[in-house]
Amino acid sequence: MLKVGFIGLGVMGGPMALNIVKRGFPLTVFDLNASAVEQLTRAGARAAATPREVGAASDVVVTMLPEPQHVESVVLGADGVAEGLKSGGIVVDMSTIDPITSKRVGDELRRRGFEMVDSPVGKTSEHAATGTLTLMIGGNPAAIERVMPVLECMGTDKYMCGGPGMGHAMKVTNNVLATTIFAANTEALAIGAKCGLTLETMMEVMRTTMGWNAQLGVAMPKKAFVGDDSAGFMIKLAAKDVRLAVELAKAQGFEALVGQGALKTLQNAMDAGFADRDTARLLMIREDQLGVKVRPAAASTGKAA
By annotation, the residues acting in catalysis are 171
Dihedrals phi, psi of 227, to nearest 5 degrees: 70, 25
Dihedrals phi, psi of 120, to nearest 5 degrees: -65, 165
Helical ranges in 87-232 per DSSP H: 99-111, 125-130, 141-151, 166-194, 199-206, 214, 220-222
Residue 93: strand pairing partners = 63, 118
Contacts of 284 (CB under 8 A, 6+ apart): 224, 227, 229, 302
Question: Cα separation of 14 and 6, whole Å?
Answer: 9
Residue 30: strand pairing partners = 7
Closest listed residue to residue 282, CA positions, set 247, 245, 253, 242 = 242
Question: Cα separation of 20 and 152, whole Å?
Answer: 9
Q: Which DSSP helix (H) or strand (E) runs through 133?
A: strand 133-138
